[in-house]
Amino acid sequence: MPLTAKPLAGIKIVELGQVLAGPFAGAIFADLGALVIKVEKPDGGDDARQMGAAFRDGDALIFKDFNRGKRSLALDLKSPEGIAALHAELANADIMLHNLRPGAAEALGIGSAAITARHPRLIYCEMGAFGHMGPLARRPGYEPLLQAYCGLSAITGAPDGPPTRMGASVVDQGTGMWTVIGALAALAERARTGQGGVVNTSLYETATMWAGQKLSAFVNQGELPQKHASGHPAFVPYQGFDTADGPVLVCCGNDRLFAKFAALLDRPEWIADPRFATNRARLTNQGELLPMIAVLMAERPRQKWLAALEAAGVPCAPINTIPELAADPQTAALGMLAPVPGTDYQLVALPLSFQGQRPAITAPAPALGEYRRP
């Protein structure tokens, strides 16, 4: 039987998610066809409902984005009735996930040990800030804090600029992705053993993984990372240049591509110049080469450069704005902006397809407490 665009149909997830990392994991599961029951506090629900201006139904857009396709169950988990209702949902659930503040689940009596003892087939996914062990295990954390703590801010931005936060929430969303990967691996293990278990992920571990190449280079070779703006530490030229009317990224990943680029720039003498003939020479002499390239690139408009570079086979791309990305024909061709049934808006769809079919968004984010147990 071929893969379908809803491969997790029949799988039940109970999500105790707040704001981003936990809800993003839940949204992935929902888009893949799982039933996702989002447990929210009765008074206001997920804090993300109020994170920004009201978009639809009084909720912020970020809540609509990361909670599409779910059902909302309002429970007071500080009450015996609320805990009993949670256990009733977990009795036939496959996965529970949460990104509660460290220690909060244990204080409520729903930590991993208590839950897995009562529901041994359940996959319990615990998403922390600084990890499930170590001196910082009880410390809370947020996206910019972990980007800063784990070195990502220090390696982002211009060489002479300050540490810079990445524009996307790569740590939160990455932790959601690792949680889904871990949960699916645990489900495969359960199919063999009949037993569930605990999956631990954290913002710290995700951020450290994203910094992994730089960290490995330091611990193994003593290399201190440098910031390169749009550039690359190992290739030159491999960065953005301003044209007469907009920036373009040019990637010369080998000497053959550089030769083509030099010819386009009408500088064939660079190909034989010992300062620029090889990538290692260009790395050493980039302070001389890059300013000369910048002057030449600024003489012509972006579309002329892109057409010439593409015709010559030199990898390149416009450095697009978000509005340009939204309007790009490739975005439309791939169906990356997906309609939300019953609404007048679109959201970004999952970046994968099955048999060429992208999983559709099946429903908008739920109203607080709309789910009632059958």
**157 pLDDT above the threshold of 80:** yes
CA distance to 241, 251, 282, 308, per residue, from 260 (Å): 17, 11, 15, 10
* The pLDDT value given to residue 127: 97
What does the block give as tokens for 179?
């949680």
CATH topology of domain 238-318: formyl-coa transferase, domain 3 (3.30.1540)
Tell me the helices (H) and strands (E) count for the chain, helix number first: 15, 13
pLDDT digits over 93-123, tens only? Answer: 999 999 999 999 999 999 999 999 999 999 9
CB 371 within 8 A of CB 73: yes
* Mean pLDDT, all residues of the chain: 96
Catalytic status, residue 119: no
- Confidence class for position 133, pLDDT limits 50, 70, 90: very high
- Confidence class for position 168, pLDDT limits 50, 70, 90: very high
The mean per-residue pLDDT over the stretch 355-368 comes to 95
pLDDT digits over 187-242, tens only? Answer: 999 999 999 999 999 999 999 999 999 999 999 999 999 889 999 989 999 999 99
- From 87, 119, 132, 232, active-site residue: 232
The mean per-residue pLDDT over the stretch 73-96 comes to 97
* The pLDDT value given to residue 372: 79
Which of the two residues, 1 and 231, has the higher pLDDT score?
A: 231
* The pLDDT value given to residue 4: 73
Q: What is the DSSP letter of 236?
A: S
The mean per-residue pLDDT over the stretch 346-352 comes to 96
CA neighbor of 175 nearest in space, from 21, 350, 16 = 21
CA neighbor of 336 nearest in space, from 359, 365, 303, 311 = 359
Pick the CATH number of 12-211+335-348 from 3.40.50.10540, 3.40.920.10, 3.30.420.40, 1.10.3720.10: 3.40.50.10540
The mean per-residue pLDDT over the stretch 343-371 comes to 95
Is the preceding omega at residue 237 within 30 degrees of 0, hence cis? yes
* The pLDDT value given to residue 328: 96
Residue spans per domain, the chain: 12-211+335-348, 238-318
Structure pTM?
0.93
Burial of 321 from C-beta contacts in 10 A (0-12 / 13-18 / 19+): exposed
**373 pLDDT above the threshold of 90:** no
Measured CA to CA, the distance from residue 109 to residue 127 in angstroms comes to: 17
- Confidence class for position 5, pLDDT limits 50, 70, 90: confident
The mean per-residue pLDDT over the stretch 284-289 comes to 97
